[in-house]
Structure 1
Amino acid sequence: MLYRQVLDPLGGSLAWSALCAAIPLLTLFVLLGVFRVRAHLAAAASLALAVALAVAVWGMPVGQALSGAAEGGFYGLFPILWILVNALWIYRLTEITGWFGVLRRSIRTVSPDQRVQAILIAFCFGALIEALAGFGTPVAITAVMLVAVGIAPVKAATVALVANTAPVAFGSMGVPLTTLAGVTGLPLDDLGAMAGRQTPVIALFIPLVLVLLVDGRRGVRQTWPAALVAGVAFAIGQFLAANYVSVEVTDIIAGIVAVVALLGFLRVWRPAEVRQGVAAPAVAGGSSDAVDAGREAEMRRRETGEGSALMAFAPYLVIVVLFAITQLGPVKEWLGAHGVHQFAWPGLDVRTPGGQPASAMTFKLEHLKAAGTILLVAGLVTMALYRVSFGRAVRAYGATLHQLRWTIVTVTCVLALAWVMNLSGQTTTLGTALAHTGEAFALLSPVVGWLGVAVTGSDTSANSLFGVLQVTAARETGLDPVLLASANSTGGVLGKMISPQNLAVAAAAIGMAGSESTIFRRVIGWSLGLTAVFAVFVYLQSTPVLGWMVVG
């Protein structure tokens, strides 16, 4: 049965329809932030509400609404949870073999100050992981590493989420922007150059926010030089790479420039007062395996941190190398030809308000080139490097799945919610209502991207969802299409830290599934505040004040 999306199903009023469409999202965030409901229950309730509205208000057939929810839930399992499970399995292997303790000691030799460590791990190293993988991988990995240096778990999750903003628009080798270029027809180079004149502004401030989160105003007062060096270096690297090199390697260049600049600065500077964290216990609960095994070397590594720093970092170096290999020309082409299976999701026949088939009806299963698959291979390599037996590795994998049981429910429900809202037209109604604000839309353009990422957890998905809407609104209001399209992507990155999907990833990474509401309350202010400031910045770019920054 054909279903055609309607923008104004509630009495023919776009405004009232948009308010109605916002109810599932408001419900989700209120349950998390105000009533502190556990994330999987809040997500399930919001999903049920979205399905009810899709059927009762938007007129979507029940079967298609449920099929759309199933597609979104499957996307939550693969690739999102496939990434998280394998990333945390690798961490568990390092923990049960004692190399986690060595990693902790090795990071502290670079700088004993945990505020500087937060910049190095969450901002610099996280950017490199985002450049190669994306989809929550940087949050999962850096949150664990932050706990390793003694930062409290909830604080570590908060830092990891806030840090995973500036590099996101160019993440996964530029996939968000290449997707945006594909759906809008705008030149990729122009979009990349424009994004490279927006996200560096975010990068300038994020390291300062991180040290504020770790140690308050004292942290900013004592470590602002290091934060400034990292932010400026990353911003310059991102601007130059996006405008004069390539969209695909922008974050790699920016991340490397930031790491080199900060390490060089640390050779001649250190904070007047060093703030060291207390060694944290195992996050993933793998210590019992090490005790039962009775391996003296493992216990010594756990207790004293004795061991090779190279071996301690080996799993993460393997991850970077494997992702880099998959981006090589012949390998990338082979994976694109043999590692992707695309098919029409059964039970869906949806048309957009303009009459085109909804893109969400087609499911792309990237089984070989998926980030989770690459992480699985990295885990197998880690098994060999650390000489972990097959049986022990399987037990560790099972323990990881048990740890993530409620996170799995949360992520599948959140992605099911996103798919139902997208396929029924609820999300498009919200975006279209914002686009009907005339020239003031330049101020709201980043908010549309923020909304898309908050719903889907992905800058790529938000660009697919709202890219055409941004260009259409720009042409109707006489604004620059490249400016608004890129603002959709760059503004969207600030919604990533409050996306329930990413909150669940962060909570699971620190071994505190169920703490999503606590983390949400810590990041919501930063997400809204930074988005508001950035929206003003984009608005000024649409005026003569900063119009000289727009790609000509």
Structure 2
Amino acid sequence: MIQANAETLNTWTQNYDPLGFWLFSTLVASLPVLTLFFVLVALRKRVWFSAMCGMLMAVALALVVFRMPSMMVGAAAIHGVIFGILRIAWIIIASMFLYNVAVETGQFQVMKDSIANLSSDKRLQLVLIAFCFGAFLEGTGGGGAPVAIAGAFLIGLGFPPFQAATLCLIANTAPVAWGGVGNPLRVLSGVTGLDEMALSAMTGRILPPLSAILPLWLVRSMVDWRETREVWPALAVSGLSFAGMQFYWSNFMDNSLVDVVSALFSLLVMVAFLKFWRPRNILRVGNAETEIIQIPQHSTLSILKGWSPFLLASVFIFIAGYPAINKYLTFDSFKQPMPMLHNTVIRVPPVAPNLPEAAIIDLNILSLPGTSIFVGTLLASLWLGLSLGHTFRILGRTVKELIPSLAAISFMVGLAYVTRYSGMDTVMGLSLTRTGMLYPFFGTMLGWMGVALTGTDAGSNALFGNLQKVTAEQLGLSAILMASANSAGGVMGKMIDAQSIVVSSAATHQAGNEAAIFKAVFKHSIILASLVGLIVMLYAFVLKDLVPE
């Protein structure tokens, strides 16, 4: 094993039990995240301040308890801040810029009318926007865009901002494993050496039951059971069509387009179904009465024009994210190693075989989802008659409104990177491997925790994917099953990760209300993750023959 000797070897080896007893080490490793949520929820401080406190706690523990060299700790924090600005903050800015341009040009009203003409019932509008359209955005780009865009859209339809934020977080779950044109499973395959299509197939056997009930879950989260039952045919159509295509495409086609195809299929089936069916009682936003409201009719050309900002953004996201095209937008010269951090931190068994941890600053801005949204919005604004000056004034106003949220994201990702490179994340993960034959359940919860900590399913897969494989082999379980469980369980942690909560609060103008949003979605997250864990247990001990080799 390479020893921690920064002076002679310029490397540092992670220590997964710095206090000599795994329970104490686990409790200490959890302090940064606990600090963040204590300051946010108990002390009710602003999210940027809470994130800063969490990051400072992570820095202190990395230095004092984990004995990570100070230059590496500083480099990890800076690396996280850079990543947060380029990969997450940029998406929020671009998504809100898109929404504000649509509002400024009057096209958002046309979009609202077109949805209302499909159905003026808020329960069905929620499914169409948060579930179907949100899944499409997750499949094409991910990275916060589904929550930001769908949340802003629901507010435009009249949904209360807090409700829009929580519902979009709950909706952005089942599609996450194949988000960003299949990137999470691509990462999982890379760190485990397992076949990508086998991982996709297994994940596509775990998640469809949850996908099928998610529209019902969403609507029930908003209204009571009686009002939910009134739209059960539409909920069944949307959920089953999405889940069926999700299973088919992940098992028999490819990994890249699972979300895109499933979302489009479900959306088209829903549109066709709503031509022939509508609920007996129409439940409108802010009004449960059934009086007739005259909705303006628009021509097909006007509707296409109204949707043009979102359509152009979606097209550019898809084009830039598709692997065959993405490679032409990505340049190796734009990837630079982070000084004092790249390949200086050594991961060791059981996580990895003495493997140096890469730390690359990726400046390939052309391939980012945020850039695709920005370019699509810019072109749409010019086509819709806005001058460049007017367009950039909208952009400036958007950035000014988002400054507190952007600061919060920078601190949060800085925290995540310090805990990652110091090994704190891994210490918490290893504690769950001590659960023996219950590991299929708790291994799923490990993936859930990984996304809650890192903010992405891909990040959780990179962090815990190989650990899942090694632990599964030691316990006589399928490595394919447990690696897939990491990704499948992780998707339910997406709604409670701090970055997603900041994105949702920023997009719905709920800055300062992050603690309430977190408390509102936490129970949904833990229940849905537990259901995934039970499904994985079923495959581990009852349906073994259905696990791919």
TM-score higher than 0.5: yes
Question: What residue is the counterpart of 1:6 in the other structure?
Answer: 15
Structure 1 Cα separation of the partners of residues 476 and 175 of structure 2: 30
Structure 2 Cα separation of the partners of residues 310 and 523 of structure 1: 34
Within 5 Å, give how 1:227-238 maps onto structure 2. 227-238=235-246
Q: CA deviation at 1:35?
A: 3.6
Question: What residue is the counterpart of 2:499 in the other structure?
Answer: 501
30-39 or 268-277, which deviates more: 30-39
What does the per-residue CA deviation read over 1:337-394, in whole Å, with 9 as the maximum and x for residues that have no partner? x387222101222111346454342233332111111111112111212111111111
Question: What residue is the counterpart of 2:484 in the other structure?
Answer: 486
Structure 2 Cα separation of the partners of residues 188 and 54 of structure 1: 34
Structure 2 Cα separation of the partners of residues 66 and 180 of structure 1: 28
With over 3 angstroms needed to count, the CA separation of the structure-2 counterparts of 1:142 and 1:328, relative to structure 1, is closer
Question: What residue is the counterpart of 2:310 in the other structure?
Answer: 316
Structure 2 residue matching 1:534: 3-state secondary structure = helix
Unaligned runs of 5+ residues in structure 2 are 1-5, 288-294
Q: CA deviation at 1:328?
A: 5.6
Q: CA deviation at 1:436?
A: 2.5
Question: What residue is the counterpart of 1:547 in the other structure?
Answer: 544
Q: CA deviation at 1:326?
A: 2.8
User: Is residue 55–residue 62 contact of structure 1 (8 Å, CA) maintained in 2?
Assistant: yes
- 2:348 is matched by which residue type in structure 1? P
Within 5 Å, give how 1:185-334 maps onto structure 2. 185-278=193-286, 308-327=302-321, 331-334=325-328
- Residue 426 in structure 1 maps to residue 424 in structure 2: yes
Structure 2 Cα separation of the partners of residues 419 and 37 of structure 1: 23
- Residue 117 in structure 1 maps to residue 129 in structure 2: no
RMSD: 1.8
- 1:509 is matched by which residue type in structure 2? A
- Residue 93 in structure 1 maps to residue 101 in structure 2: yes
Structure 2 residue matching 1:343: 3-state secondary structure = strand
Structure 2 Cα separation of the partners of residues 540 and 238 of structure 1: 20
Question: What residue is the counterpart of 1:341 in the other structure?
Answer: 334
Structure 1 residue matching 2:231: 3-state secondary structure = helix
- 1:351 is matched by which residue type in structure 2? I
* Moved segments of 4+, more than 4 Å: 303-307, 327-330
User: Is residue 169–residue 459 contact of structure 1 (8 Å, CA) maintained in 2?
Assistant: yes
User: Is residue 439–residue 479 contact of structure 1 (8 Å, CA) maintained in 2?
Assistant: no
What does the per-residue CA deviation read over 1:51-92, in whole Å, with 9 as the maximum and x for residues that have no partner? 111111111122211210110011100111111101111111
User: Is residue 184–residue 471 contact of structure 1 (8 Å, CA) maintained in 2?
Assistant: yes
- 2:215 is matched by which residue type in structure 1? P
Q: CA deviation at 1:45?
A: 0.9
Within 5 Å, give how 1:295-444 maps onto structure 2. 308-327=302-321, 331-336=325-330, 338=331, 341-348=334-341, 349-354=344-349, 356-444=354-442
Question: What residue is the counterpart of 2:464 in the other structure?
Answer: 466
For residue 106 of structure 1, the aligned residue among 103, 114, 128 is 114
- Residue 74 in structure 1 maps to residue 82 in structure 2: yes
Q: CA deviation at 1:8?
A: 0.2
- 1:202 is matched by which residue type in structure 2? L
What does the per-residue CA deviation read over 1:126-174, in whole Å, with 9 as the maximum and x for residues that have no partner? 1111110001110000001111211111101111111000100011110
User: Is residue 181–residue 322 contact of structure 2 (8 Å, CA) maintained in 1?
Assistant: no
Q: CA deviation at 1:305?
A: 9.0
- 2:410 is matched by which residue type in structure 1? T
Structure 2 Cα separation of the partners of residues 62 and 443 of structure 1: 37
- Residue 515 in structure 1 maps to residue 513 in structure 2: yes
- Residue 537 in structure 1 maps to residue 535 in structure 2: yes
Structure 2 residue matching 1:83: 3-state secondary structure = helix
Unaligned runs of 5+ residues in structure 1 are 280-302
Q: CA deviation at 1:492?
A: 0.3
| TM-score normalised per structure 1 | 0.92
Question: What residue is the counterpart of 2:3 in the other structure?
Answer: none
Structure 1 Cα separation of the partners of residues 333 and 518 of structure 2: 34
| TM-score normalised per structure 2 | 0.92
Structure 2 Cα separation of the partners of residues 91 and 511 of structure 1: 12
User: Is residue 314–residue 373 contact of structure 2 (8 Å, CA) maintained in 1?
Assistant: no
Within 5 Å, give how 1:114-193 maps onto structure 2. 114-193=122-201
Q: CA deviation at 1:320?
A: 2.1
Question: What residue is the counterpart of 2:292 in the other structure?
Answer: none
Structure 1 Cα separation of the partners of residues 332 and 505 of structure 2: 31
Structure 2 Cα separation of the partners of residues 38 and 217 of structure 1: 35
Give the count of matched residue pairs: 526
Structure 2 Cα separation of the partners of residues 328 and 75 of structure 1: 21
